[in-house]
Copies of this chain bind each other. A is one copy, B any other.
Amino acid sequence: MSQHSDNQSSSSGGSLEPSAYDRDASIEMLEWIRELYPINRSLTGPGVRQTLEFLATLIPELRRHQIASGEPVFDWTVPDEWTLREAFIEDSQGRRLVDANTCNLHVMSYSEPVNEPAMNRQALDEHLYSLPSMPDAIPYLTSYYKRRWGFCLSEEQRSALGDGPFRVRIDADLEPGHLDYADVVLPGESDSEIFISTYICHPSMANNELSGPSVATALYRWLKTLPRRRYTYRFLFAPETLGALTYLSRHLEELKSRVKAGFILTCIGDDRAHTVVRSKYEDTASDSVASHVSRHWHREVEFVPFTRRQSDERQYGFPGVELPMVTVCRSLYGEYPEYHTSKDDLSVVTADGLAGGLSFVRHCIESLEADTRYEATTIGEPQLGRRGLYPTLGQKDTRKLVENTLNVLAYSDGRNSLIEIADRIGCPVTDLSTIAQRLQEAGLLRLSDQT
């Protein structure tokens, strides 16, 4: 006696292409990026504050925080605030050869002030940075903790500079101020948290800098519309490295006890690859769900090991912290040609790229929300037919549904969550969550105490 009588295989698919929501959001994200692009952000200073002010118009609940220069942050100290007014190199005729007003990458971030009326080429050259391998690109450089100054320029500009003498001026302050960052917590049914972290500390670079905050913001706005959230969601917008460290220094135990999964968003707006940087031991719920989503995703996702990390996963994965997080990129930082140069401009970030980045993270979150752990309440298979959960004669179109139903029951033994069951079957967890809810309503599954 068989509850079902044929066995042909059919693929349920599980189309995870960007949804209409993602596509609509991508148009908004492009607008936000255009607004934020010109701002001259750095580790600290007015650029960070302007950026947070703009984000607060999109996320009214955003909470802003300031840490004073000189405050210790674990092994670090919050540095002085850097405010740039202008930076240029002029020739003897007063023509501006290099000007930070043209492109804010021209001045090395955190450059100390300089005012040289007549500098010769040789002396100037020691303060110039260009990329011979990309002659028309301006590199991005910083020197947060060592006092120096510098200009970044294209190899072509450098060749055309002439012999000087040059008037060299950087009008900047390096004075006690604050490190600025912002967070927001969106409560759910459980205290367990999904943590989204992104950074806001680079000048005019589109993919490296602005795709992350934009996708995080769109994600927040989507989560807010959900009728039900099992998890609480925490978002952080902070300068890279020192901002993450600062946040950890204020919230370490809270994060360690609450964060079930998390995603660091960076370089997530171009329309090339999808890349996930694994956690240190590749064993977290974030790793599992990213793998799960990638298996049912139409584009290829490249998973790279933690040893290739370059962003805030360096802090979140450090001994003593070790939050269960992965980093989600389109093109991996450091790997795409425009990375950390003036070429990472508005043309690199596209609606498709942003929609796809948002879609990936949204599917991770939808999968985590669906990933409940149940236990069967009967001994042996229950009689599905009398509950209307089973076709009384084998019908092809219901066969996969019946198989999934029986597999959800058989593997709901306290050892598997729905994602784990879906991975055994080879279907998206979202195919199983409705089934599981119906079985729970019929009293055939109960929530498991196991975690």
Contact = CB atoms under 8 A, between A and B. Distances in A.
Copies in the complex: 3
Contacts of A241: 1-3, 381
Max chain B Cβ within 10 angstroms of own Cβ: one of A319, A333, A335: A319
A7 interface: yes
Interface stretch (A80-88, A356-364, A404-412): A404-412
A280 B411 contact: yes
A142 B379 contact: no
Interface string A303-339: 0011110110011011111100000000001110000
A412 B6 CA distance: 47
A401 B142 CA distance: 20
Interface in A1-29: 1-7
A199 to B, nearest CB: 8
Say whether chain A's binding surface is mostly helix, strand, loop, or mixed. loop
Interface string A119-154: 000000000010000000000111111101000000
Interface stretch (A228-236, A287-295, A382-390): A382-390
A410 B306 contact: yes
A101 interface: no
Contacts of A380: 74-75, 244-245, 248-249, 315, 318, 320-321
A378 B144 CA distance: 20
A232 to B, nearest CB: 23
A413 B311 contact: no
A34 interface: no
Interface string A146-177: 10100000000000000000000000000000
A393 interface: yes
B320 A1 contact: no
A335 B248 contact: no
A201 B1 contact: yes
B141 A393 contact: yes
Contacts of A320: 376, 378-380, 413
Given A239-B1, A252-B379, A410 B319 contact: yes
A340 interface: yes
A425 interface: yes
Given A146-B392, A385-B146, A406-B314, A340 B239 contact: no
A403 B309 CA distance: 10
A308 B7 contact: yes
A76 interface: yes
A1 B240 contact: yes
A35 B392 CA distance: 32
A201 to B, nearest CB: 6
Contacts of A142: 1
A63 interface: no
Given A241-B3, A318-B409, A248 B310 contact: no
15 contacts: A1-B142, A1-B199, A1-B241, A1-B242, A141-B394, A145-B385, A244-B380, A245-B380, A318-B378, A318-B379, A318-B409, A318-B410, A319-B413, A320-B379, A322-B413
Given A74-B379, A319-B413, 19 more contacts: A1-B239, A2-B240, A5-B141, A7-B308, A7-B310, A7-B333, A74-B378, A75-B382, A76-B383, A129-B393, A141-B394, A145-B386, A252-B379, A307-B407, A318-B379, A318-B380, A319-B379, A319-B409, A320-B376
